[in-house]
Amino acid sequence: MRGTFCIVLHSHLPWLAHHGTWPVGEEWLYQAWAHSYLPVVDLLQRFADEGRRDMLTLGVTPVLAAQLDDPYCLRAFHDWLGNWHLRSQFAGTRWRDPVLRDLAAAEFQTSARALETFETQWRHGFSPVLRPLADSGVIELLGGPATHPFQPLLEPQVRDFALRTGLDDTQSRIGHRPAGIWAPECGYAPGMEVGYAAAGVQRFLVDGPSLHGNTAAARTVGDSDVVCFGRDLEVTYRVWSPKAGYPGHADYRDFHTYDHPSGLKPSRVTGKQVPPEEKQPYEPARAALAVQQHAQDFVDTVVRRLDGLPPDSLVVAAYDTELFGHWWHEGPAWLETVLRSLPEAGVRVTTLQGAIEAGHVGSRVDLPASSWGSGKDWRNWDGEQVADLVAMGSSLQHDLLSVVDSFPRGYRSSAADQLVREALLALSSDWAFMVTKDSAADYARRRAKVHAERFGELSELLRLGHLDRATARAGQLRAEDYLFGHLDARGLPSTC
C-alpha cells in the first residue's frame, strides 16, 4: 500500500426548526436533508450491503441529529419533499427547451425516489437509519458538543457541560458513546485535551496549520493520551478552497441560479463571470464526465501526496457533508467514485479509528490556539465584527453559572433546564461565523438576540424566586426550542 487515506464528513446545521423558513431557516435544513443527507446515506447503505467496512468517518452534531429526529421536522420535511415532487412536475409542463424538459423529468424521478426513501426508511427519524451504519462498521461516527459552540470562548464549566450533553445525546440515539468528535470549527485552546480525556473523548480534528502542515500521522496532545488528526490542506483544498475547486467547474449544476416559478436549479455554472440569465442549461451527461475527470484527478493528488511523504503515511481530507449534494449537486457521485478508485491505486481507505489501529500515531505535540477559519486563528468567532456577540456570550455564561449556583440542586426544574437550553442555543458558533462572513448576518444576529433574551427572561424570574412564572414561560419556549429532552441543569458544574 502506498499509504492510508481518511475522509471525514462533518454534518451540521444550527437549530432551525420554528425559526423562519425562507431564505434562511427551515428551508436550509430541508434542502440539505434532501440533497445531501439522503444521497450520502444511500451511498453508505450500498457500501454496507456490499460488506464494506471503514469507508469514512461521519460526524453528526447533536443539534443536527435532534432536528432529523424531531417529529415537527419530520412532518415538515415530508411536506417539503411532496412540494419538490409537484414543482418538478410543474417545471415539466412549463419548460419548452428539450434539455430542460429532460432535466425536469429527471428531477421528477429523483424527488419520487426521495419520497419513497423517506416514507419507507426515515419516517421514524435519522437515528434508526444511522445506527445500523455505525453498528456494521461501514462508518466511524463522531459526536460533538450539544449546540456546536466555539469551545475556546466557553467557561470551563459550560464547555464541559455542553460536551457531555452532546455525547450523552448521541449515546441515547445510537446506543454507544462516540470516542471521537469533530471539535466545532476545529477550535482549540491549549489544555482542552484535559477536558476531552475526562469526558471520554479519545480523538478530534484540527486544521493542518495547527500541526505546521505535518499531518502525515495523528499525534497525542500534550501530556494526555488524546489524539488529534490534522486536516491535509494540500489534498482537501483540491476539492474545495476559498478560491478554486471542483464544484466551480463550468459543467456542474449551478447552486445559485434558480428558476423561481418552480424553485428548481436548471443551469450549469457555465462561467464564473456569467450572469444568471446567460447561463446554459444543465446537462447531466457533461456533468458526469466532469465527475470522472475530477475523481481521477483527486486520486492522483492523493497518490502524489503520499508518494511525497515517508512510506506508509496518512492523509486526512475533511469536508462539510452539506458540500456533497446540497452545495455541489454532483458531490455524492464524485465521493462514491473516489472511495471505489483509491484502493485500486494502492491506497488504504479507512476511518480515523482504523488509522490508529494501522499505527498512524506519531509523537506528542503541543497545539497552539487555532481553528479551521480565516487565518487559522479565532478571528471568525471573536473578531471586531462580532465583539458584541462575544461580550454577550461572556456575560450570558457568567449569569448562567450564577443563576444555576443559586438554584436548589435537590430536584429537577423544567425552567432551569430551559434556561440552559436557551443559553446553549445563544452560544452556537454559527451566529458569529455568519456575521463575520456576511452570510445571512441579520438572521444570525436575530437568532443570537432571541435566545439571549429568552435566557434573560428566565434568568430574571428565577433570580426573583418566581418559579411558577418561570416554569410557565419555559413551557411556552419549549414549543419552539425543545431539543435534548434529557438535558438536566443540575449537571452544570458548580463554580464553587
Cβ atoms of 473 and 455 within 8 Å: the answer is: no
Task: Select which of 168, 185, 336, 382 is catalytic.
Answer: 185
Peptide bond connecting 132 to the previous residue in cis, omega within 30 degrees of 0: no
Catalytic residue among 27, 155, 234, 320: 320
Give which of 11, 14, 9 is closest to 433, Cα–Cα.
Answer: 14
State yes or no: is 232 an active-site residue. Answer: no
Q: Which of 414, 422, 419 is CA-nearest to residue 475?
A: 414
Q: Distance between CA 11 and CA 66 in Å, rounded?
A: 12
Q: Is residue 320 annotated as a catalytic residue, yes or no?
A: yes
CA distance 13 to 221: 28
Question: Please, which residues bridge with residue 67 across strands?
Answer: none
**Distance between alpha carbon 496 and the CA centroid of its chain, in Å?**
35
d(CA 346, CA 3): 8
Q: Under 8 Å CB-to-CB from 118, ≥6 apart: which residues?
A: 38, 77, 78, 81
Half-sphere exposure of 124 (CA within 13 A, CB side): 8
Close Cβ partners of 78 (under 8 Å, ≥ 6 residues apart): 115, 118, 119, 123
**87, 263 contact by CB (below 8 A):** yes
Known catalytic residues are: 185, 320
